[in-house]
Structure 1
């Protein structure tokens, strides 16, 4: 029996390789005899190369297939070189999007690689296992007498239902226990033509049948999967189809399960929006690629954005849908100033997460043919990110990199929901201006060069406030203290945090409050609650204008109750 080892090297421990799972299940379905034994092993780029080589060596597989992506290219090639040294007779196959577009160069530079597969992997790998003659296998590059040759591409799978479900019940339970993201696809391909995206290369869109998708979703729901992340490039293409899937999820709603979708927001009509208002809060997460609001840039990258409609739809969705909005820096015709306009627009929509990304020049995309046109300079190694172009210089890209880090700390963390807006609304003309100023301060302090504990990130905001000599300091301290207590039970008391509640006051408030929570011990009660007195009415302040919060004649007592992943807040 021949042993086939499939190797996935992920960027993080919580990630999983969906493509290899589909390929293995498809091969197992179509090879009826017991000629082959197939196994998937997964690692991360944080594992040592030595430990990966050792584990692969133990498997003693005749064929080893690696899946290569932008995040693991260099790492994978290093592993392959060493694996071939200790398993010289094993056939090394390389696949994935990072292998296909410069396969000849990769094989010339890495003699350890015997084959590279390109195109959709299921049929190619199956045919490779069935055929002995490389010349007859479509979709591969191979070596013959020192020359690298390639065959015609394999046709796409017409009926996606022929591809088996990628997870077993035993495996899904293991992935849930390890709190890993479960990836899933209900379609393949993308009809849009975004110039920077590899998904635009396959113009056609194929769908798994609705019956198949419902069956798969039922499996996830019955097994109480924490998060199912759809990898469909644009999920909401066919209204009747995607609405029926959503209705099925809602009809079978189970608390604690979330579904993540990449969507195009301005495709929604009134019927869809009305339905989404009925979805249980937290059940759906939407990732929405705004990328830019610059009209000239949008035209250059083959995109359209109806900004008025996007703003309207987001205001409706925010009530119960978790929103991730994306921006890309380094696009054609987008200079530093216009990017700031795009940033202010997206930030003003107040999503749960603002993902500030940087353009990557990927082989096979339209923009990879426009390098000279736009004067692109970019990293020659993964992740191939832009360094500068005709419209934005490297120094400005560095500034945006710093801003990206602060957006993660002070916005995406969801830990500064009142203190940062207080600063922006009182002392800056725009959110971008604040992050620009704050990131320059961080840079001067050399804070970007080392890691920091959470409490330090709070301290830095306070120090920044002091050094800028902003007024309303007492009010700001209240807002910063509120954010800190909401985040976690206080363990550190710094200059900006003066505790106002005595032990007796705390006991009285807890005793008189109907918590509807049973504590196992006094210790647990103290651990899961906090009470603090504030001088300003933080809870009733409007998010757009915190400076109007009134200093009432009576102090405001707030009870914080710490639950699993959230904090309940009550006035007492």
Structure 2
């Protein structure tokens, strides 16, 4: 039996505008890995720095007290510096493994701080490490031998997601998680599928890949039932890249939730495809407990939507919002990105005008963040337009990390500020 400590780094600064109302979710990736490790007979502890608001010194103290054989650190780009810092300070007490979306995108960087880097989905790869399998035989890892970086062959993604145990939420303080100020509610997240067949230039799909793998209706239902009955969850947030990709599957799930009278609110936090919705689907979603819908609009310009390969049209977006308003969801979200390829001052104005036309109850305007692993990152880096030096600067959706094409960085920031204020204080918003 191997003793393993998994650490979720803090995310301070990611939601700097919201501060105390910033959302926190259980670290599902680590919880899935922990569940597979426990099933394999290993001892696992999870420290979630984000929800516990822990300092690095506090984590190091707990890690030394626990005395693990392996320490696993996850991290997105916005908090990878925390993982690297912890790895430097903990490397003498355990084998250091770093995984997650950033390490998968830049394994040659991450291996400078770790003994092993896990690329892609981590459940079976981490189990091989914990089982003591020969490092040369473990798929999906990067390591060093005699200062030479070695990338083993990629591991195939988990084909049948039903084979995975439910996330080990018993290892995290489940009642401490909350969303946008709703601290009295039991909030949890769920992944109903993995993968996305679309190819947006701003999205990193190196973890789950392009092949969409759906969990069965029964498997998803049982996890939702567990969340409600065992953990007292009142609100579930769907974290899929595109959860409404398989209409028949999700419609069957909503019908089952209604039939079994599962009392829980549902929120599609990562959004829905506007080209895969219809009125019947919305009506059933509302009956099943959905409080709202979220649409990734991105831009009010068809040329920019084409540039980023979104695969949607302005008319499809209009239709989706019109149907959502007709069904009368409590919340209709629209998310928009400034600074995409082809952006000018005029196209930015068009996007704000389009947002006004769509009239979401909540509009979230962001500045493009070109994360490693995305086409936008590769393009901007090759053109010498990335301006920041630290991954910590990738925490902000409100501050440009690059020199945009059709305007200055300062102008892009002003457009972001103006759009948020203009939409928030529009007459319709004030009177509603």
Q: What is the CA-CA distance between 1:267 and the residue it aligns to?
A: 1.7
1:371-390 correspondence runs (5 A): 371=380, 376-382=385-391, 383-384=393-394, 385-390=400-405
| Residue 394 (structure 1) aligned with residue 409 (structure 2) | yes
Instruction: Write the distance in 1 (CA, Å) between the matches of 2:383 and 2:145.
Output: 40
Contact 1:374 1:390 in 2 (8 A): no
* TM-score, normalisation: structure 1: 0.65
TM-fit CA distance, 1:101: 2.3
Distance, in Å, in 2 between the alignment partners of 1:40 and 1:171 is 6
Q: Which residue of 2 aligns with 1:153?
A: 154
Q: How does 1:244-263 map to 2 (within 5 A)?
A: 244-253=252-261, 257-260=265-268, 262-263=271-272
- Give, in whole Å, the separation in 1 of the partners of 2:49 and 2:226: 26
1:242 and 2:250 aligned: yes
Aligned with 1:204: secondary structure?
coil
Aligned to 2:119: 118
Question: CA–CA distance in 2 between the matches of 1:132 and 1:235?
Answer: 35
Q: How does 1:491-502 map to 2 (within 5 A)?
A: none
Residue equivalent to 2:129: 128
1:226 aligns with 234
1:270 and 1:89, CA in 2 relative to 1: closer, same or farther beyond 3 A?
A: closer
State the Cα distance separating 1:170 from its structure 2 match. Answer: 8.6
Q: Is the CA contact 1:235–1:263 (under 8 Å) kept in the aligned structure 2?
A: yes
The separation in 2 between residues aligned to 1:373 and 1:170, in whole angstroms, is: 42
Match of 2:99 among 87, 95, 120: 95
Identify the residue that residue 35 of structure 2 maps to in structure 1. Answer: 25
Quick one: structure 1 residues 315 and 101, their matched pair in 2 at CA, closer, same or farther if it must change by over 3 Å?
Answer: closer
**In the alignment, which of 215, 220, 223 is matched to residue 213 of structure 1?**
220
Distance 2:54 2:169 in 1: 26
| Corresponding residue to 2:24 among 11, 14, 19 | 14
Residue in structure 1 matched with residue 197 of structure 2 by the alignment: 191
- Deviation (angstroms), 1:163: 0.6
Given that 2:302 and 2:314 are in contact with CA atoms closer than 8 Å, whether structure 1 keeps it comes out as: no
Equivalent residue of 2:197, what SS? coil
Shift of 1:233: 0.5
Could you report, residue by residue, the CA deviation over 1:320-352 in whole angstroms, capped at 9, with x for unpaired residues?
Answer: 252221101110111122112112211332222
Distance 1:62 1:391, change over 3 A: same
Write out per-residue CA displacement over residues 218-276 of structure 1, whole angstroms, 9 at most, x where no aligned residue.
22333541221111101111111111122223334555633335211232235334545
CA contact (8 A) 1:15 1:180 kept: no
Structure 2 counterpart of 1:361: 370
Match of 2:17 in 1: none
The Cα shift of 1:379 comes to 2.4
Which whole-Å CA distance do the structure 2 matches of 1:218 and 1:171 have between them?
18
The residue number in structure 2 matching 1:137 is 138
The 1:254–1:138 alpha-carbon spacing in structure 2 relative to 1, beyond 3 Å, is closer
**Preserved contact between residue 26 and residue 169 of structure 2 (Cα < 8 Å):** no
Q: Does 1:302 align with 2:309?
A: yes
Give the match's secondary structure for 1:388.
Answer: coil
Does the 8 Å CA contact 1:6/1:66 hold for their aligned counterparts?
Answer: yes
Q: Distance in 2 between matches of 1:170 and 1:141?
A: 28
Higher RCO, 1 vs 2 (CA within 8 Å, ≥6 residues apart): 2
Shift of 1:373: 7.7
Tell me which residue corresponds to 1:317: 324
Q: Which residue of 1 aligns with 2:49?
A: 43
Aligned mates of 1:342, 1:323 — CA distance in 2: 17
Structure 2 vs 1, CA of residues 250 and 358 (structure 1 numbering), >3 Å: closer, same or farther?
Answer: farther
Q: Any stretches of 5+ residues in structure 1 without a counterpart?
A: 412-419, 426-430, 432-482, 484-537, 544-572
Q: Residues 56-102 of structure 1, C-alpha deviation per residue, up to 9 Å, x if partnerless? A: 22211121000011221112211222223xxx141111111111222
Query: Distance in 1 between the 2:174 and 2:84 partners?
Result: 32
What is the CA-CA distance between 1:204 and the residue it aligns to? 0.6
Report if aligned partners of 1:293, 1:342 keep a CA contact under 8 Å in 2: yes
Distance in 1, Cα, partners of 2:248 & 2:149: 47
Q: Residue 76 of structure 1 corresponds to which residue in structure 2? A: 83
Alpha-carbon distance change, 150 to 396 in structure 1, aligned in 2, over 3 angstroms: same
Q: 1:43 to 1:82 in 2, by over 3 A?
A: same
Q: Which moved more, 1:210-219 or 1:177-186?
A: 177-186
d(CA) in 1 for partners of 2:205, 2:313: 22
**Distance in 1 of aligned mates of 2:369 and 2:47:** 28
Q: Aligned pair count? A: 405
Q: Paired residue for 2:180?
A: none
